Amino acid sequence: MRTIDDLQVAGHRVLVRSDLNVPLDRSGDTPRITDDGRVLASVPTIRTLAERGARVVVCSHLGRPKGEYDEKYSLAPVAARLAEALGRPVAFTGDGTADIAGSAAAEVVAGLGDGEVALLDNLRFNPGETSKDAATRAAFADELAALAEFYVGDAFGAVHRAHASVADVPKRLPHAAGGLVLAELSVLRGLTGGDAGRPYLVVLGGSKVSDKLDVIRALLPKVDALLIGGGMCFTFLAAQGHGVGASLLETEMIDTCKNLLAEGGERIVLPRDVVIADRFAADAATEVVPVTGIRDGWLGLDIGPESTELFAGRLSGAQTIFWNGPMGVFELAPFAAGTKGVAEAIAARDGFTVVGGGDSAAAVRTLGIPEASFSHISTGGGASLEFLEGKSLPGLAALEV
């Protein structure tokens, strides 16, 4: 896989596929970025190219617009934050239409000087970005490729998508992987290559077992312990014969969980107690109960203090830790303690600690845990999981050619 050091970019236009898919708070007059982690992670590659004299054209998606212009998904507020982070102006090409790589964008790009940066508007405004029709995708890829002379793939969070800007544009231009993609690959290979430091523990949370089933199957033979919290733990508890009240439950996965528990034995660690509530709300009535005592009609929204202590104790001796998925609904204060306790236990380790992106990365920042406490915080939750599952990722395959 080529790197940006292999490209002679000075004086040339370089299309950089970044991942600037950040959460926005639109409750005020002006949209506000609530977590700029992906913007900051994209800066080093963009800055390096600009400092080497490239004319940098950044592109990204944001959210899930329906293949047409929608102001609430515009990257305009992201352009402003990217300019602040880079310490240099960023020309924004958005013209209020879905013509992302058309005449307006081409005019802005043509006016760039060496070391200058532009940002296209949301790629997903154009239906060709995500189309399942190869010809439609190819047509949009042609438009994007016409804006540049080189392509750099640096959107690790999107490399598992067979989208035009991720998998098709690299076929049309000399290309290389950006620094963020290379860093992510180095970390994830360290988790799958067989030489991870022991004990090697994985912590999984989040809503559904079905979302994590493939990664459980891939990692279970490789790890010393698999700690399971979050909404997904209730399907495992049901598989053990416990009642789970109104908690999130995938009944169709109960037999699968029984088989996993039989295969994993003592290596699969489940909560001993949980925080239950009479409704899903920050001001709900709550109670800590053992997993055998979940009330009918009540729902589990966090692991309990005994479980947090159990998980922290297991993590205290680990040399390698991969964590993906919160232990509870950390966005609501009464149900944040489990996620915070587990995150703090991982942060306290001196070993190789990886936060697997998505909600876990958001939790680290929301709960005020220093990011430097972890060896690596991934920018791509879904991409990280699919890589660990052993799947071929279209965006990486395109960069390897």
Domain boundary assignment for the chain: 4-181, 193-388
Q: Is 360 within any annotated ligand binding site?
A: yes
* pLDDT band at 160; cut points 50, 70, 90: very high
pLDDT, tens digit, 9 for 90 and up, residues 252-274: 999 999 999 999 999 999 999 99
Asked if the model's pLDDT at residue 194 lies above 80, the reply is: no
Q: What is the mean pLDDT of the chain?
A: 95
Asked if the model's pLDDT at residue 152 lies above 80, the reply is: yes
Round to whole Å and give the CA distance between 106 and 97: 14
Q: Is 314 within any annotated ligand binding site?
A: no
Residue 16 structure tokens? 């950089």
Q: Is 161 within any annotated ligand binding site?
A: yes
- Supply the DSSP symbol for 209: H
- Supply the DSSP symbol for 168: I
Cβ partners under 8 Å of residue 107, min gap 6: none
DSSP H or E stretch at residue 258 = helix 254-264
- Catalytic residue list: 38, 208, 358, 382
CA 385, 387, 389, 392 dihedral sign is positive
pLDDT of residue 192: 86
pLDDT of residue 303: 98
pLDDT of residue 380: 86
Round to whole Å and give the CA distance between 327 and 360: 9
Cβ partners under 8 Å of residue 360, min gap 6: 205, 323, 324, 325, 326, 343, 381
pLDDT, tens digit, 9 for 90 and up, residues 208-247: 999 999 999 999 999 999 999 999 999 999 999 999 999 9
pLDDT, tens digit, 9 for 90 and up, residues 68-83: 999 999 999 999 999 9
Fold for domain 193-388? Answer: Rossmann fold (3.40.50)
Q: Is 63 within any annotated ligand binding site?
A: yes
CB of 153 closer than 8 Å to CB of 401: no
Name the residue with higher pLDDT: 202 or 25.
Answer: 202
Write the DSSP string, 38-50. Answer: HHHHHHHHHHHHH
Helical axes 209-219 vs 381-388, angle rounded to 10°: 40
Considering the domain 4-181 in this protein, what is its CATH number?
3.40.50.1260
Beta strands in 38-86 (DSSP E): 55-59
First to last CA, the chain: 7
Helical axes 337-347 vs 358-366, angle rounded to 10°: 90
Helix (H, G, I), strand (E, B) or coil at 234: helix
pLDDT, tens digit, 9 for 90 and up, residues 275-297: 999 999 999 999 999 999 999 99
4-181 and 193-388 have identical folds = yes
CB of 32 closer than 8 Å to CB of 39: no
DSSP H or E stretch at residue 98 = none
CB atoms within 10 A of CB 63: 13
* pLDDT band at 149; cut points 50, 70, 90: very high
Q: For the chain, what percentages of helix, strand and coil (3-state, to nearest 5) are there?
A: 45, 15, 40
Round to whole Å and give the CA distance between 300 and 233: 10
Q: Is 212 within any annotated ligand binding site?
A: yes
Q: Is 331 within any annotated ligand binding site?
A: yes
pLDDT of residue 26: 85
Q: Which range, of 7-21, 128-142, 154-168, 362-376, averages the lowest pLDDT?
A: 362-376
In terms of phi and psi (left: phi > 0; alpha: psi -120 to 50; beta: otherwise), the region of 241 is left
Q: Is 300 within any annotated ligand binding site?
A: yes
Find, among 394, 355, 389, 392, the residue nearest to 41 by Cα. 355
Q: Is 358 within any annotated ligand binding site?
A: yes
CA 263, 264, 265, 271 dihedral sign is negative
Q: Cα-flanking dihedrals φ and ψ of residue 142, to 5°?
A: -60, -45
What percentage of residues in the chain have a pLDDT greater than 90?
A: 92
Side-chain-facing half-sphere of 256: CA atoms under 13 Å: 17
Q: Is 359 within any annotated ligand binding site?
A: yes
- Radius of gyration of the CA atoms of the chain, in A: 22
pLDDT, tens digit, 9 for 90 and up, residues 26-58: 888 888 998 898 999 999 999 999 999 999 999
